[in-house]
C-alpha cells in the first residue's frame, strides 16, 4: 500500500523568504505525485504534478517540486513567499499499478503555511 508523510504540520515564513514544504512517500509501484493547495474555506487547487516525465516539475504561482526516487521525496519549494501563499498544502500520491488502482489518491496530512509580513 502507498502512503504519504508530510514532515511538517505547520511552516511559518516571512514574506519574500524561501518556502520549503517537505513530503516523503512510499509506494510499491511507479507513483504519480501531486501538490494541492487549499485556501481557507475553499476547495482544492492543483499546484503541480509529476507523472514520470521530468523530475523537476514547475507549477502555478512560482512553485516547483523535485521528484527524488532515491530519497522517496517530493518536496515543494518557492523562492520567495507572498502573503497570498498562506494556505494548507497537501502532498498526494497516486499509484500507477496497471490500471488496478483506479486513479485513487492518497493524501498527506497537510502542511499549514503561514506567511508573516
Residues forming the site for other proteins (CB under 8 A): 4, 9, 32, 43-44, 46, 49, 90, 94, 96, 102-110
Q: Which residues of 77-95 are buried (b: 16+ CB within 10 A; e: fewer)?
A: ebeebeeebbbbbbbbbbb
Write down the least CB distance from residue 111 to other proteins, Å.
10
CA dihedral 12, 93, 42, 86 (to 10 degrees): 20
Write down the least CB distance from residue 43 to other proteins, Å.
5
Nearer to other proteins, 46 or 54 (CB): 46
Nearer to other proteins, 77 or 101 (CB): 101
Nearer to other proteins, 60 or 79 (CB): 60
Write down the least CB distance from residue 16 to other proteins, Å.
29
Amino acid at each position: 500500500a502507498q502512503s504519504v508523510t508530510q514532515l511538517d504540520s505547520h511552516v511559518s515564513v516571512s514574506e519574500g523568504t524561501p518556502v520549503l514544504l517537505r513530503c516523503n512517500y512510499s509506494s510499491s509501484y511507479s507513483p504519480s505525485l501531486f501538490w494541492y493547495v487549499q485556501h481557507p474555506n475553499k476547495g482544492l487547487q492543483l499546484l503541480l504534478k509529476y507523472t514520470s516525465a521530468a523530475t523537476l516539475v514547475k507549477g502555478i504561482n512560482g512553485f516547483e517540486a523535485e521528484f527524488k526516487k532515491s530519497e522517496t521525496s517530493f518536496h515543494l519549494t518557492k523562492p520567495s513567499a507572498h502573503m497570498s501563499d498562506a494556505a494548507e498544502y497537501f502532498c498526494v500520491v497516486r499509484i500507477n499499478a496497471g490500471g488496478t488502482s483506479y486513479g485513487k489518491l492518497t493524501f498527506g496530512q497537510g502542511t499549514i503555511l503561514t506567511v508573516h509580513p
